[in-house]
Each structure stands twice: as structure tokens, then as C-alpha cells.
Amino acid sequence: MSEYVVLKHKLNDMNGSLLGVQFRGGYAVVIRGSKLYTQLKQLPLIRGQPEFELPHLRNVKFITRSLDINSIFGPQVYNAYMAQIQPTLEKEQIQKEEKKVEIHTEANGLCSSGTVLGEMCRFPALPNSPSGYCRKHILTDPKLESLGIHVPRLTKQERDGFKDKVIAQLDKLAK
């Protein structure tokens, strides 16, 4: 797989084609070490300018969404960009979700369980729940196993009685 590099032009408003390479906002993307790369680096307006890795395109003002890279620099550059940026996006999404849950539970004292639609539960959290879950979601609390409370597979009728037993056990452990 080719390693792409982002080249900077001295003119920040350079939009157009130079040696067949598309420039937008003073930036171009070429394959590192290629003949075209060498030719561009020899030009006076590009010589001495910084080079960047593909994820730098995320910080450029004319890129407002990832698909802009596809329309400006082409699908091959877009695919390479997405391959490099994917771990960062996943990490940011996890941090965003964790922060959302933290704000939701700490500020309001509400359940930290999410619904099927990605919303947060709006019921008040039980005081002794290890993860801050409400009565409705207490059986899905992932920390119950670490407290020695095993939740078997239950029918709807059995769930309510078992919830009461779990809540009683949590109250007993809290004392």
C-alpha cells in the first residue's frame, strides 16, 4: 500500500493543478518517494515547506467532513485517510460516550444504562447499584458478577421477583 503525504504550498490560497497534482487551500496529497513527489519538492514554492501525514487533513479549514477528501483528492487518498484515522475516531467515540454517561449519571443521579435507540435511561439510579443502574436495568449491571451475584436467564414473570432479591442483596452488601 502506498504511503501518502500531504504537501504544503507557500501560497495558502493555491487552488488548482500543478504538475497534474490537485492543490486545494495550499495543500496537495502525493505518494511519498514517487517521481511526482520529487518533482514537487524541487519547486521553489514548495521546497522547504512542511510535510504532514494524512490525518493532518482533519485540521485543515476546507475539510468539513471526511467525504470532502474523496471529492477533492480522490477515492484512493480517501481510503488511505480513513484507514489511518479509524482508530482515532473509535477512541474519540468511546470517550464521547463515556463522558455522556458520566455527565448524565453524576449531574442528575439517573441510570447509566443506555436504551436501544442510543438514548440514556431517565429513571433514577438505585443508591446501592454498583454501576448506577435503575430498578428496571439492575439485572444488566455488568458489575453484579464481580460482587458474586449471578443473573440467570429468566422469564418476564421471574424477573420482578429476582430484581427484588438482587436489590436486597445489594442493600445487605452496602451495610
65 and 124: one domain?
no
Q: Are residues 157 and 127 in the same domain?
A: yes
Do 77 and 145 reside in the same domain of the chain?
Answer: no
Check whether 29 has a pLDDT greater than 60.
Answer: yes
- Whether residues 21 and 72 fall in one domain: yes
Looking at the fold, whether 10 and 62 belong to one and the same domain comes out as: yes
Residues 25 and 73 placed together within one structural domain of the fold: yes
Residues 115 and 50 grouped into a single domain:
no
64 secondary structure, DSSP code: -
Containing structural domain, residue 156: 109-174
- Asked if residue 151 and residue 118 are part of one domain, the reply reads yes
Please report, as a single letter, which amino acid is at residue 162.
F
pLDDT digits (tens, 9 = 90+) for 59-105: 888 888 888 888 888 888 899 988 988 888 888 888 887 776 666 55
Assign 30 a pLDDT band (cuts: 50, 70, 90).
very high
Q: What is the pLDDT of residues 105-143, one digit of tens each?
A: 555 677 777 766 667 777 888 888 887 888 888 888 888
Confidence of residue 35 (pLDDT cuts 50, 70, 90): very high
Are the CB atoms for 167 and 138 separated by under 8 Å?
Answer: yes
Task: Annotate 107-121 with DSSP letters as a single string.
Answer: HH-B---B-TTSPBP
Answer with the one of 59, 88, 117 that is the final residue of a domain.
88
Distance CA 54, CA 50 (A): 13
Angstrom distance (rounded) from CA 175 to CA 7? 64
Residue 139: inside a domain: yes
71 shares a domain with 29: yes
pLDDT score of 101: 63
In a domain, 41, yes or no: yes
Residues 55 and 131 in one domain: no
What is the residue type of 75?
A: P
Please give the tally of structural domains in the chain: 2
Residue at 95 is within a domain: no
Kindly state whether residues 77 and 146 are assigned to the same domain. no
Task: Evaluate whether residue 94 is within a structural domain.
Answer: no
Residues 81 and 116 in one domain: no
